[in-house]
Amino acid sequence: MSTATANDVANDIASDVRNSNNKSMGVMLVKSLPDALRKFDPRNMWHNPVMFIVWVGAAFLTLLAVAQLFSPDDLSHGQPVYFTWIIAIVLWFTVLFANLAEAVAEGRGKAQADALRKTRTTTPAHRVVCYDAENDPDVRGPEKGHGPSSIVEVPSSDLKLGDVVVVEAGDLIPGDGDIISGIASVDESAITGESAPVIRESGGDRSAVTGGTRVLSDRIIVRITQKPGESFVDKMIALVEGANRQKTPNEIALDVLLSSLTIIFLIVVLCINPQASAVGASVSLTVLIALLVCLIPTTIGALLSAIGIAGMDRLVQRNVLATSGRAIEAAGDVTTLLLDKTGTITYGNRQASNFHTLPGVDHDEIVRAAALSSLTDSTPEGQSIVDLARKEGMELDDIEGAKAVPFTAETRMSGLDLPTGERIRKGATSAIEHWVSEEGAGIGQEVLDAMHDRVESVSNAGGTPLVVAEQGANGVVRILGVVQLKDVVKKGLRERFADMRAMGIRTVMVTGDNPLTAAAIAKEAGVDDFIAEAKPEDKLAYIKREQSKGQLVAMTGDGTNDAPALAQSDVGVAMNSGTSAAKEAGNMVDLDSDPTKLIDIVQIGKQLLITRGALTTFSIANDIAKYFAIIPAMFMEQFPGLGVLNVMGLHSSLSAVLSAIIFNAIIIVLLIPLALKGVKYRAKSSEKILGRNLSIYGLGGIVVPFVGIWIIDLFVRLIPGF
């Protein structure tokens, strides 16, 4: 803090502002002008007490200025008549700038809302009458000997909660719902912006579809889960437009502080003339109102709602929808992150990393067997085994007449039957053991022990063991060894988790793996804790336990059985690909279904709060300089000693007041980009963040207006009469 010179501070602010300044800002300001003008309605201004005071002050001064035209001697207090006019105009501009900030913030959401609105056009829907789930789940119709159901065409706007519709390839899905029968590829680009189609199918966690998206192939039966006019898209539009935006608890608390400061300054200013009368001085109404506007926290008052809207908007930019601003704030407060292992911490697919042979087995033998059995296996795991074998120098050719044995849930293994009669199998330990004993081979306890030994060491290292066994042409069954499949931790996550730790956030990995495997991966990824062999109720229990310790928990989820945990968590991010139950339960939806984004969401929440705090500090710190401009201006003539306080060397009383009030207005416009973009945020300890922001916005808040007012005064003094 102490090392930061005024110069550094100025540079820092400049760079913060520059970074946040996008080129189209000027254009956006102009575009938002009509909306900003509409906001002058006092019924609208009333919601912002700080700016309402400015509005009233401007209106009053305008009336005063008019009155002065008729009776200049009585009302002008010895100041030129146009002085009041100029101050009044600057005040109107101050209000305009505040309205502009809000309008620009809202404008960014509007464009998005318009795009969404297009998807909401009424489409014909094929509603099923008398849906019969038992006999005719696919709605083939009575004419084909099925149930009594029939299809009628209705406008999508007439669909009610619980209606069942049929959607064919090429149709728009008429409303939000769950697929109850069928599978289809769906183009969701209208909502997510992602052009690659996604698969949606009944049952399971990929059953939710959104109204306005298009079915590309196949035919699905959808049960509508929305009420008319309350679709997901409707909610999105309302959110991004900021319609019925509610103040968050933190905004309310800040409002309370700002209102109190406003009340104090209002009373202080009202009491100036009575006090001054004690020493035979008095101050003109124009100057008093200018002082009041300078003192009340107009900077933050003008930008507060823009900051909130912009925070919401930043989430939307990242394709995350929050159901309320409150959820974003809660994200900033999160202290525990629950992250699913697969897909979030590790890539969805495991990679073969090692072959472990059992005693008496040649290394090449297991490599060959494992690779052969994987040749026809198109899964990434299978391919990685082949790749690894090739890397170890094994040459592999397709074998004529070999028959692939695919993986089934029952056998839990896959393999290959060779024309020679050889059979190769690979699978989970217990499955292979089962197969071996079923084939009637007497495997020695030693071999089994050796196998368990390998399996355990693979698990300990965080890998998944895949046991490979072979039945020779002569019918002898042998266990060859163990292939080690490894979870691959996503790149850069370790560093991000370290950042999280610095920010005071614990990361917890949730996995279905056994505790040994889980511990190894947890260590590799650098998470603070893990839940192994996790069932959905474990997640819920963990969240409750954390919350009872006062922690705030965030999680992602997509399945119906995630819903209770999503609802319990403080920030529950549902994947858009998930079920509608999950989406209902969470307070955010990630349209990209990227669980890693949880980390971004936390940062956006923090950034929002930081921006609010930084501009509040800046706004309050500004007052010092304004006092040093206006107080000498008010009383210097009568008490020359107060000239000592005119440290900026401002030209005259009038120029001092005008410069201060102009600075007060201009700073709002200058800070709009920062309010919209947010203060730069780096994951660091609270102390470093606070130190940095205090030196920029606290110290800067004191220094900048001294310089700014001084510069403005250099120009204002050129106005004749000032």
Task: State the Cα–Cα distance between residues 642 and 632, nearest whole angstrom.
Answer: 6
Q: Is 200 within any annotated ligand binding site?
A: no
**Site stretch for other proteins (CB under 8 A), options 127-135, 565-573, 614-622, 659-667:** 614-622
Task: State the Cα–Cα distance between residues 532 and 510, nearest whole angstrom.
Answer: 6
**Does residue number 43 form part of the binding site for other proteins (CB under 8 A)?**
no
User: Given candidates 175, 311, 332, 708, which one binds other proteins under the rule CB under 8 A?
Assistant: 332
- Least CB distance to other proteins at residue 332 (A): 5
Interacting residues of 117 by C-beta distance below 8 A, sequence separation 6+? 237
Task: Please identify, using beta-carbon distances, which residue of 239 and 625 lies nearer to other proteins.
Answer: 625
**Does residue number 305 form part of the binding site for other proteins (CB under 8 A)?**
no
- Least CB distance to other proteins at residue 141 (A): 57
**Site stretch for other proteins (CB under 8 A), options 128-136, 350-358, 592-600, 635-643:** 635-643
Task: Please identify, using beta-carbon distances, which residue of 45 and 505 lies nearer to other proteins.
Answer: 505
**Does residue number 639 form part of the binding site for other proteins (CB under 8 A)?**
yes
Q: For residue 121, with 0-12 CB atoms within 10 Å meaning exposed, 13-18 middle and 19 or more buried, which class applies?
A: exposed
Task: Please identify, using beta-carbon distances, which residue of 358 and 615 lies nearer to other proteins.
Answer: 615
Task: Please identify, using beta-carbon distances, which residue of 391 and 549 lies nearer to other proteins.
Answer: 549
Task: Please identify, using beta-carbon distances, which residue of 232 and 265 lies nearer to other proteins.
Answer: 265
Within positions 576 to 605, which residues make up the interface with other proteins, using CB under 8 A? Answer: 605
- Least CB distance to other proteins at residue 608 (A): 8
- Least CB distance to other proteins at residue 549 (A): 6
- Least CB distance to other proteins at residue 280 (A): 8
Task: Please identify, using beta-carbon distances, which residue of 10 and 502 lies nearer to other proteins.
Answer: 502
Q: Is 558 within any annotated ligand binding site?
A: yes
Q: Is 192 within any annotated ligand binding site?
A: no
Q: What is the DSSP letter of 163?
A: -
Task: Please identify, using beta-carbon distances, which residue of 276 and 402 lies nearer to other proteins.
Answer: 276
Q: What is the DSSP letter of 172?
A: B
**Does residue number 279 form part of the binding site for other proteins (CB under 8 A)?**
yes
Q: Is 106 within any annotated ligand binding site?
A: no
Q: Please report where in the chains the tokens 């030994």 appear, as a residue.
A: 453
User: Given candidates 12, 163, 234, 329, which one binds other proteins under the rule CB under 8 A?
Assistant: 329
User: Given candidates 276, 404, 447, 448, which one binds other proteins under the rule CB under 8 A?
Assistant: 276
User: Around 519, how many Cα atoms within 13 Å sit in the side-chain half-sphere?
Assistant: 8
C-beta of residue 317 within 8 angstroms of C-beta of residue 600: no
Please choose, from the candidates 54, 78, 60, 90, the residue with its C-alpha nearest in 3D space to the C-alpha of residue 716.
90
User: Given candidates 187, 241, 623, 713, which one binds other proteins under the rule CB under 8 A?
Assistant: 623
Q: Give the ranges where 21-178 is alpha helix by DSSP (H).
A: 25-31, 33-38, 42-45, 49-70, 72-75, 81-118
**Site stretch for other proteins (CB under 8 A), options 184-192, 325-333, 485-493, 652-660:** 325-333
- Least CB distance to other proteins at residue 632 (A): 8
For residue 189, give both structure tokens: 């680009």
Task: State the Cα–Cα distance between residues 327 and 323, nearest whole angstrom.
Answer: 7
**Does residue number 704 form part of the binding site for other proteins (CB under 8 A)?**
no
C-beta of residue 436 within 8 angstroms of C-beta of residue 398: no
- Least CB distance to other proteins at residue 308 (A): 13
**Site stretch for other proteins (CB under 8 A), options 152-160, 373-381, 441-449, 607-615:** 607-615
Around Cβ 110, how many Cβ atoms within 10 Å? 17
**Does residue number 635 form part of the binding site for other proteins (CB under 8 A)?**
yes
Q: Is 411 within any annotated ligand binding site?
A: yes
User: Given candidates 72, 142, 640, 721, which one binds other proteins under the rule CB under 8 A?
Assistant: 640
Q: Is 410 within any annotated ligand binding site?
A: yes
Task: Please identify, using beta-carbon distances, which residue of 333 and 538 lies nearer to other proteins.
Answer: 333
In SS3 terms, 252-268 reads as: HHHHHHHHHHHHHHHHH
User: Given candidates 66, 268, 647, 711, which one binds other proteins under the rule CB under 8 A?
Assistant: 268
C-beta of residue 485 within 8 angstroms of C-beta of residue 352: yes
Q: Give the ranges where 119-208 is alpha helix by DSSP (H).
A: 189-192
Q: For residue 454, with 0-12 CB atoms within 10 Å meaning exposed, 13-18 middle and 19 or more buried, which class applies?
A: buried
Task: Please identify, using beta-carbon distances, which residue of 5 and 379 lies nearer to other proteins.
Answer: 5
Task: Please identify, using beta-carbon distances, which residue of 99 and 250 lies nearer to other proteins.
Answer: 250
Task: State the Cα–Cα distance between residues 648 and 712, nearest whole angstrom.
Answer: 11
Helix (H) or strand (E) holding 674: helix 653-677
For residue 708, give both structure tokens: 């700014």
Helix (H) or strand (E) holding 415: strand 413-417
Q: Give the ranges where 271-377 is alpha helix by DSSP (H).
A: 272-277, 285-295, 298-317, 325-333, 363-375
Please choose, from the candidates 623, 694, 709, 613, the residue with its C-alpha nearest in 3D space to the C-alpha of residue 660.
709
Q: What is the DSSP letter of 47?
A: T
Around Cβ 220, how many Cβ atoms within 10 Å? 26
Please choose, from the candidates 673, 712, 687, 688, the residue with its C-alpha nearest in 3D space to the C-alpha of residue 13.
673
User: Given candidates 21, 44, 551, 561, which one binds other proteins under the rule CB under 8 A?
Assistant: 551
**Site stretch for other proteins (CB under 8 A), options 35-43, 182-190, 237-245, 331-339:** 331-339
Within positions 233 to 262, which residues make up the interface with other proteins, using CB under 8 A? Answer: 249-250, 252-254, 256-257, 259-260
Around Cβ 42, how many Cβ atoms within 10 Å? 10
For residue 383, give both structure tokens: 């391919």
Alpha carbon 472 to its chain's center: 57
Residue type, 510: V
Around Cβ 17, how many Cβ atoms within 10 Å? 15
**Does residue number 627 form part of the binding site for other proteins (CB under 8 A)?**
yes
User: Given candidates 150, 324, 335, 353, which one binds other proteins under the rule CB under 8 A?
Assistant: 335
Within positions 72 to 91, which residues make up the interface with other proteins, using CB under 8 A? Answer: none
Q: Is 377 within any annotated ligand binding site?
A: yes
- Least CB distance to other proteins at residue 11 (A): 19
Within positions 676 to 695, which residues make up the interface with other proteins, using CB under 8 A? Answer: 681, 685-687, 689-691, 693-694
Q: Is 408 within any annotated ligand binding site?
A: yes
Q: Please report where in the chains the tokens 């406008």 appear, as a residue.
A: 155
- Least CB distance to other proteins at residue 683 (A): 10
Residues in binding contact with other proteins, number by CB under 8 A: 78
User: Given candidates 698, 700, 705, 708, which one binds other proteins under the rule CB under 8 A?
Assistant: 698
C-beta of residue 677 within 8 angstroms of C-beta of residue 611: no
User: Given candidates 72, 348, 641, 721, which one binds other proteins under the rule CB under 8 A?
Assistant: 641
User: What radius of gyration do the chain's Cα atoms show?
Assistant: 34
**Does residue number 607 form part of the binding site for other proteins (CB under 8 A)?**
yes
**Does residue number 706 form part of the binding site for other proteins (CB under 8 A)?**
no
- Least CB distance to other proteins at residue 249 (A): 5
Task: State the Cα–Cα distance between residues 443 and 137, nearest whole angstrom.
Answer: 49
Q: Give the ranges where 216-248 is alpha helix by DSSP (H).
A: 232-241
**Does residue number 311 form part of the binding site for other proteins (CB under 8 A)?**
no
Q: Which residues are catalytic?
A: 340
Task: State the Cα–Cα distance between residues 57 and 255, nearest whole angstrom.
Answer: 20
Binding-site positions for ATP read: 377, 381, 407-414, 426
Residue stretches of the annotated binding site for Mg(2+): 558, 562
Binding site feature residues: 377, 381, 407-414, 426, 558, 562
